[in-house]
Structure 1
Amino acid sequence: MTTADFLRPIFLEEMMRAHAPARQIRVLAVAPLALDSSASILTALTAGQTDAAIGHFGLAVTLEADGRRQTQRLVLKVKPPGREISAMLASLAQACGEPLATVYPQFAARTGFHHTHRRELAAYQLPIAGLMPTIWGVYADDARQAYCVLMEYLDDVTLLNSVMAPEAWTDAHIRAALTQLAAWHAAHLTPSPPHGFDDQPSLAHMRQLAPLWEALLANAAAHFPDLYTAARQRTLRTAIAQIPAYWAVLETMPRTLIHNDLNPRNTCFKTSPDGLRLCAYDWELATWHVPQYDVVELLSFVLGPDRYGLRLGYLEHYRQVLHGLTGHYADAAAFRAGAGYAALDFGLHRLGMYLMAHSVSPYPFLPRVVDSYFDTLAQLRPLELPGALPEPRRASEIVREKCQPEALIVS
């Protein structure tokens, strides 16, 4: 399909009708809107390696819905198939040289990017929308390799793509984000991964990919020795060695649907009568992990050296809200341990991938994030914890109790 095919009124109308079959919708006209999509790293990098019509398109759509004529400002996101993103990342690995050039191809389809075209569409069809933007339609056609999301145009918002301005995230923004994130995680706490979310991390997965974690670390150390100091390298090598120990604990902890890319590149705030409302988009990396993972990532992005001392307080705020909604996170020490183990995963996988891309096309925000991340490890000290924690409750027990009414009372 060409770009023109995606922008035809009849195509958008069919997407809308399929998404909201109870509504009477007719698209009357479509006009282009200017749109800055430079923050979408994966789409931008992949667009340069394919002839397919992919990207973000701003649209002013005039429609009639249930007899009422209106014009909506929308964005049509035309996604590349995940295999093309995997191929693009493999080419970045080749550009980095050894050891990534040899090791990465063995694991290219297992780094969480191979099913991005399906995962984001699955996320936007969940029954509980929560943090998400308003979705007007999704489309998937495997035969044509065409995958689309039609969503609201996020223009009446604040802190859109604020990755270069972490200081703009005030205490009010951070607490609002953590409070609403806890509500999302509580609502999606499940005993097994939701349908459509592949490549979820596990003890077996993390162990099998250990050669990749080693290669990503070696690449970061070789290209950025001032950032990945000898001490920091030792820390992450120890983390790789301790994957069996800390994942043995993680596998007993309840897991939920996490965004897995939750940072100021993919978030903004809407203003509502109830105050600030977090909006998270680009759910293509969403997966099933402990809820603390999203918190570790967000705080690594928004906390600079002047606010490192607030990190544990924010984590505790999040725990209290999550415990109030579920009744299952009373042990603050065990919760911090889970956050520390999640931080190890974030450093080995997501930061390793970021540094691989950073080696080829620098991201100005990344050194600051790496420093903040290692402060997370310094405060949580997860490598000192395996074997020292009390026996945790099984995740299945916690999720089973979540459905009982008394577990939902906010304390």
Structure 2
Amino acid sequence: MTTADYFRPAFLEQIMRRHAPARNIRVERVRPLALDSSSSILTALTAGCSAKPVGHFGLEVQLLADGQPQTQRLVLKLKPAGHDIATMLSGMAGACGGAVAEIYPHYQALTGFEHTHWRELQAYGQADPSGLLPQVWATHADPSRDTYAVLLEYLDEGRTVELLNSVMAPERWTDAHIRAALTQLAAWHAAHLHPTPTARANYGPDVPSGAFMQRLAPLWTALLSNAASRFPELFTPARAAQLRQAIAHIPAYWQQLEQHPKTLVHNDLNPRNTCFKRDAAGQLRLCAYDWELATYHLPQYDVVELLAFVLDADRYHLRPLYLEHYRQALHALTGQFADAVRFREGFQLAALDFGLHRLGMYFMAHSVCPYPYLPRVANSFFDTIAGLDLNRYGRGYGVQYGLVTY
């Protein structure tokens, strides 16, 4: 299929009917809409490496739904296959040179990107009593053509939503926005707490665990060395030493994390992938999209990332207060998080995974294609783990989890 084939009324009608078989949907006309998709970094970077049509496309769709005429503004996301993204990132690692270039190819299928094409489709098929997801009109998977798509509501800044792609303006995230986001995030995490082994397995072989994190320890070391050598003003000797200590203590701190409840996390929850709507009562409602990195981790993990992105230095002191707001909301829904001290411990230990994995990958990309917001995020992240003493957990190496080295 060509790109134009995906915009034809017949195709859109087919996938919309498949998504909602109980509804009688007829698509009558489709017009293109302008769309800013600059925040979708993975799709943009992979578009130039894929022979298949990929990207985000705005559409104005005239349709009949159960006999009622309506016009919907929608976004069709033609997703790159995960292996194309993984290959693109391996090329980026090669451009960095050094240990990252040597080691990354051994792990490129285990860094969370190999299965992005179907992870997002799975996430959009989840029950969502929290209202966190955008309205999903259809999903489409054609493995024979390696083609995957989602059809979503059009999120329009200033018209239906606010704080769309606000990554460069953390000051716009007011106290009301942050608390509303954390309250709704707690509802999502509560609804997906304690996944079954089958549910975890459905998200691939790179769902975080002690064994997984230890297996990739050589990659975390290489990513850290790349960041420390290229950005010493951010990865100071003391900060780099703290993350090296974290790598050495993976078995020990994951022994603690294994005792904490897990849930379905967004794993890319930041202002590039979120916005806010107003409900009928005028209350703020968080909307999170781009779920291609979704996985299972502690519920605190998404909070680590969100606060690292929206709290600048003048608000670091509010981090404990926002974490406590989130804990209380999650505990009210589940009755399982009464111990505030243990909850804070889980928050800081989950932050180590974010620092070793996601932040390391971010700075690998930053080495080749600078992200202007990333230095601020790094400083906020290091404030998250300030004062964390890993020595209390003991020290462990690769014997317990079968460390693989290259």
Q: What TM-score bracket applies, with the shorter chain setting the length? A: over 0.9
What is the TM-score normalised by the length of structure 2? 0.94
In structure 2, the residue matched to 1:137 is 138
**Structure 1 residues 59 and 386, CA, compared in 2 at 3 Å: closer, same or farther?**
same
Q: Deviations over 1:225-256 (max 9, x none)?
A: 11111001100000000000010111111100
Q: Deviations over 1:243-301 (max 9, x none)?
A: 00010111111100000000000000001134000000000000000000000000000
TM superposition shift of 1:191: 3.8
What is the TM-score normalised by the length of structure 1? 0.93
Matched, 1:167 2:171: yes
1:149 is paired with a residue whose SS is strand
Matches within 5 A, 1:98-177: 98-128=98-128, 130-155=131-156, 156-177=160-181
Taking the aligned partners of 2:194 and 2:11, their CA distance within structure 1 comes to 35
TM superposition shift of 1:370: 0.1
In structure 1, the residue matched to 2:291 is 283
Q: Deviations over 1:72-121 (max 9, x none)?
A: 00000000100000000000000000110100000000000000000000
Supply the AA of the counterpart residue of 1:236. L
Aligned mate of 1:211, from 197, 200, 218: 218
Taking the aligned partners of 1:47 and 1:232, their CA distance within structure 2 comes to 35
TM superposition shift of 1:197: 1.4
Taking the aligned partners of 1:176 and 1:117, their CA distance within structure 2 comes to 30
Matches within 5 A, 1:58-69: 58-69=58-69
Supply the AA of the counterpart residue of 1:113. F
Aligned mate of 2:194, from 190, 193, 198: 190
2:59 is paired with a residue whose SS is strand
Taking the aligned partners of 1:357 and 1:291, their CA distance within structure 2 comes to 26
TM superposition shift of 1:382: 5.2
Taking the aligned partners of 1:31 and 1:79, their CA distance within structure 2 comes to 20
**Structure 1 residues 382 and 55, CA, compared in 2 at 3 Å: closer, same or farther?**
farther
Supply the AA of the counterpart residue of 1:289. H
Q: Deviations over 1:171-205 (max 9, x none)?
A: 00000000000010001002435263122101110
Supply the AA of the counterpart residue of 2:290. D
Taking the aligned partners of 2:278 and 2:34, their CA distance within structure 1 comes to 23
2:292 is paired with a residue whose SS is coil
Taking the aligned partners of 2:53 and 2:83, their CA distance within structure 1 comes to 15
| Higher mean C-alpha displacement, 270-279 vs 302-311 | 270-279
In structure 2, the residue matched to 1:334 is 342
Supply the AA of the counterpart residue of 2:326. Y
Supply the AA of the counterpart residue of 1:270. K
Taking the aligned partners of 2:202 and 2:251, their CA distance within structure 1 comes to 27
**Structure 1 residues 75 and 385, CA, compared in 2 at 3 Å: closer, same or farther?**
farther
Matched, 1:235 2:236: no
Taking the aligned partners of 1:205 and 1:251, their CA distance within structure 2 comes to 12
- Identity among equivalent positions (%) equals 66
Supply the AA of the counterpart residue of 1:58. G
Matches within 5 A, 1:198-277: 198=204, 199-274=206-281, 275-277=283-285
2:74 is paired with a residue whose SS is strand
Please list every run of 5 or more consecutive structure 2 residues that lacks an aligned counterpart in the other structure. Answer: 395-406
Q: Deviations over 1:310-366 (max 9, x none)?
A: 000100110011111111111111000100110000000000000000000000000
Taking the aligned partners of 2:267 and 2:74, their CA distance within structure 1 comes to 25
Matched, 1:25 2:25: yes
Taking the aligned partners of 1:376 and 1:127, their CA distance within structure 2 comes to 31
In structure 1, the residue matched to 2:74 is 74
TM superposition shift of 1:384: 4.9
2:393 is paired with a residue whose SS is coil
- Aligned pair count reads 387
Checking the alignment, whether the CA contact within 8 Å between 1:112 and 1:285 is kept in structure 2 is yes
Taking the aligned partners of 1:167 and 1:382, their CA distance within structure 2 comes to 31
TM superposition shift of 1:50: 1.5
Matched, 1:16 2:16: yes
In structure 2, the residue matched to 1:316 is 324
Please list every run of 5 or more consecutive structure 1 residues that lacks an aligned counterpart in the other structure. Answer: 388-411
Supply the AA of the counterpart residue of 1:135. V
User: RMSD between aligned alpha carbons?
Assistant: 1.2
1:23 is paired with a residue whose SS is coil
Supply the AA of the counterpart residue of 2:357. H
In structure 2, the residue matched to 1:406 is none
Checking the alignment, whether the CA contact within 8 Å between 1:337 and 1:382 is kept in structure 2 is no
Taking the aligned partners of 1:49 and 1:255, their CA distance within structure 2 comes to 35
